[in-house]
Amino acid sequence: MMATRAKKPRRPILKKPSNPSLRDPVGVYCRVRPLSRPEQECCIEVISDTTVQMHPPDGYRIFRNGEYRETQYSFKEVFGTLVVQKKVFDVVAKPLVEDLIRGKNGLLFTYGVTGSGKTHTMTGSPGDGGLLPRCLDMIFNSIGPFQAKRFVFKLDDKNGVDVQCEVDALLERQKRDVMPVPKPTPGKRQIDPEIADMINVQDQCKVEEVDEDNVYCVFVSYIEIYNNYIYDLLEEAPFDPIKPKPPQSKILREDQNHNMYVTGCTEVEVKSTEEAFEVFWRGQKKRRIANTQLNRESSRSHSVFIIKLAQAPLDADGDKVLQEKEQITLSQLSLVDLAGSERTNRTKAEGNRLREAGNINQSLMTLRTCIEVLRENQMYGLNKMVPYRDSKLTHLFKNYFDGEGKVRMIVCVNPKAEDYEESLQVMRFAEMTQEVEVARPVDRPLCGLTPGRRFRNQAFQEELSRKLEMRGGPVDAETEEQSVLETILQNFPPLPACELLDINDDQTLPKLIEVLEKRHKLRQMLIKEFSKAVLTFKTVLQEFDCSVASKENYIKGRLSEKEKTIAGQKTEIERLEKKIKTLEYKIEILEKTATIYEEDKRNLQQELESKSQKLQRQASDKRRLEARFQGMVAETTMKWEKECERRVAAKQLEMQNKLWVKDEKLKQLKAIVTEPKSDKPERPSRERDREKPVQRSVSPSPVPNAPPVRLRHRRSRSAGERWVDHKPPSNLPTETVMQPHVPHAITVAAASEKALAKCDKYMLTHQELASDGEIETKLIKGDVFKTRGGGQAVQFTDIETLKQESPTGRKRRSSPSHPDPPEDAAESEWTDVETRCSVAVEMRAGSALGPGYEHHAQPKRRKP
């Protein structure tokens, strides 16, 4: 059994600092290209600097059943058909170049359908350069005098950069000079006439406030993503005419800072705009393009041009690059020209073109999915995994969306009617992209060295050269020594011949002595002049030291002021950081509170939904029961109506027979009565009484919701209370001595709500036929009270009966006799009480007597 080796713990990864609390939205811009032909129908209109409006073309409206719907989309800025390339560069790309020189990353990509002007916006055309050449020109205009020599900066294979000493850089340059490869010629370059007009930018745009104590170096690389494979467009593969090798795809890797890079990609160090654009154009010729139905030169791959800027500070003397890797800053700007989304039924693509279109659409769909997931995570606080690895395009740029730099997108649209549906999808994607926010990267730390080192060193060198030139000697030390020796030798007198011919020669030695004395004097004179020159030089050096000291004092004073300003800013930053922490704590509390409230809201919504479902079920059950009860009520009502009709018909027949018998008896009685007394009025017959019915009060059907009446028998208490005396007009005067009299009463013929509201007692005078045929008057009394509906209701409590009888047992007259009654009214003066109609008191909802109460007085039946 083999022993398993313990797994080595992973070293913590140093992440590039970013500020997650400060976020910037993705800047989305729109550019509308002009129509190819003036007669083409336009479906996109620029209505303001930030808004475009899309309207369906005429054919589209006919195809869609005549629907016409205009939609507006807003962007950070909209560039119309007349906007020049410089305006687009100043608004979109210039801030990214400024951030690049300040050590921050940037991503700029163009997005749109095939033929919408993406490549024109990025590359440009002859005489009108696009964003890419203008970015290169601005970079070299800004860092031109501060560039390092070649091979001072050297990129490694792990997306990093090192600084080499001057000796190593010199060896690299000499090795490169020996290699049989084309070398950049010094001085003015011979530019390819094909691209000369694109990079001939006359604006001379540059970044202000470039750090002059740094040295800079630019590296460029150019790749393409074709069929979801990465290829290096700058790779110089050996050409084999017999068996050509296809280009090898590259692999994506992740460095120690979680930044993605392409392994083995060619990165070229460039020193000018012309050299950088020539490298780009060399790779552009290798890019895959094809002719389709929509575009004569349609890009079949996504191209990525990467500009890396390495910068490092100078040492304390301002002469050489600081040999510390921690002080090196490497920033990059990625310029991406995406291939256009297209529909195969419009491009008529087949074979390889069809496969290319499928891969293009798939990678763009993955980009859209990543943007959508990022938007949902940020808006709703979710933690979904963003599918960066589904495509090489999104995997390469995932660190930008994770907060490693600014992201800008230019949406290019073609306003022609044929591209309406594709442009609509592009607009929706752009609208969604604007809602994604990217963390703002923090500024790089200061190196801590004294600023102005480069210019101090240059001033010293210039001053030294000027002083040496004033002395009349050249700057080179070896040349100066040779010129001094030559001058001294020329000023000395020549030595005479020193050969002694004999002992008595007394001329040679004196001449030699004389010459040597002259030389001695000349030497003393030169020594004095040299001493004077030394003193003069010392004086100059002292003056220079004094000037340097004064400048140092001035710089120290300025530096102390700057330090005070920095200290004040640090204090302010600390205060703001404390404030930020306090606000973050408050935000955290509010987020927790909002989470609790959202949970409560969800619970209440669930409870509300359950209760609403329960209420709906109850309502449906109620409706079902109501329908069932209505059917039962209708059936029962019909049944009882038929039974009542049958009983009424039988009772009518029985009563008609009884009335016929009584009429016959009355006729006989009338004959007996009228015989002895001829002056007495004639009793009206039953037939005439039936012909003239007594007026009845309207009595509607009972209301089922009327409150039940509690019958209470008590004595009448009329004293001190307000009464409503209801006397129906159908009542007959009785001419009795005792008449009902209630003080403080309101006498009405029909009960009204106004009268009931003023009183608290109610009395109904009701007449009906007694069992002996006499009129019986009943005083029905009740209490008046208010109902919930705002009306008045009567609860009957007591009944008093007034009855009148004849001592002879005969029926009385119900009305006073007239001295000379007409002949036709003789029968109507005698009334049979049995044929009189009953009276009723009605109280229903909304009527004058209150809500829904009814009282009916039914006549008593006489026993047969």
Q: Quick one: how far is CA 484 from the chain centroid?
A: 82
* Residues in contact with 805: Cβ distance below 8 Å, sequence separation at least 6, in sequence order: 772, 774
Kindly provide the residue ranges of all beta strands, DSSP E only, lying in 36-98, ordered along the sequence: 44-46, 51-54, 71-74, 77-79
Minimum mean pLDDT among 66-70, 160-164, 292-296, 531-535: which range? 292-296
Rg of the chain in Å (alpha carbons): 59
CA dihedral 251, 281, 113, 72 (to 10 degrees): 110
349 or 791, higher pLDDT:
791
| Alpha carbon distance 564, 115 (integer Å) | 57
Scan for tokens 């001493």, then name that residue: 531
529 or 806, higher pLDDT:
529
The DSSP letter of residue 773 is S
pLDDT digits (tens, 9 = 90+) for 459-471: 877 877 777 777 6
Contacts 24+ apart (CB under 8 A), 343-347: 343/422, 346/293, 346/294, 346/418, 347/114, 347/292, 347/293, 347/294, 347/298
676 or 619, higher pLDDT:
619
Q: Is the pLDDT of residue 708 over 50?
A: no
Minimum mean pLDDT among 389-398, 400-409, 684-693: which range? 684-693
SS3 helix, strand, coil % of the chain, rounded to 5?
40, 20, 40
Q: Is the pLDDT of residue 681 over 50?
A: no
Q: Is the pLDDT of residue 688 over 80?
A: no
Question: What is the structure's pLDDT at 492?
Answer: 61
| Alpha carbon distance 146, 214 (integer Å) | 7
What is the average pLDDT across 65-91?
87
**Which of 386, 332, 427, 365 has the alpha carbon at shortest distance from 135?**
332
What is the average pLDDT across 357-371?
87
pLDDT digits (tens, 9 = 90+) for 639-652: 999 999 999 999 99
What is the average pLDDT across 165-184?
72
What is the average pLDDT across 832-842?
39
Q: Quick one: how far is CA 191 from the chain centroid?
A: 48
In which element (H, E) is residue 30 found? strand 27-32
| Overall residue count recorded for the chain in this entry | 864
| Alpha carbon distance 660, 682 (integer Å) | 19
Minimum mean pLDDT among 255-269, 626-640, 769-783: which range? 769-783
The DSSP letter of residue 89 is I
Question: What is the structure's pLDDT at 729?
Answer: 86
| Alpha carbon distance 782, 799 (integer Å) | 9
Alpha helices, DSSP H, located in 221-351: 273-284, 344-347
What is the average pLDDT across 340-346?
63
Decide the pairing of beta strands 761-769 and 792-803: unpaired
Give the count of beta carbons closer than 10 Å to the beta carbon of residue 202. Answer: 7
pLDDT digits (tens, 9 = 90+) for 473-498: 444 544 444 455 455 555 666 666 66
Question: What is the structure's pLDDT at 704?
Answer: 41
Range with the largest mean pLDDT of 591-605, 671-685, 761-775: 591-605
DSSP per-residue codes, 414-459: --BGGGHHHHHHHHHHHHHHTT-EEEEEPPPPP--SPTTHHHHHHH
Q: Is the pLDDT of residue 178 over 80?
A: no
> Residue 65 corresponds to which amino acid?
N
What is the average pLDDT across 846-852?
40
Q: Is the pLDDT of residue 226 over 70?
A: yes
Q: Quick one: how far is CA 280 from the chain centroid?
A: 38
Phi, psi of 117 (to 5 degrees): 100, 25
* Residues in contact with 160: Cβ distance below 8 Å, sequence separation at least 6, in sequence order: 255, 330
Distances from the Cα of 402 to the Cαs of 23, 97, 100, 328, in angstroms? 11, 20, 18, 23
747 or 695, higher pLDDT:
747
Scan for tokens 């010293």, then name that residue: 460
Question: What is the structure's pLDDT at 831?
Answer: 43
Scan for tokens 């030798």, then name that residue: 489
pLDDT digits (tens, 9 = 90+) for 424-435: 999 999 999 999
| Alpha carbon distance 74, 434 (integer Å) | 9
Question: What is the structure's pLDDT at 705?
Answer: 45
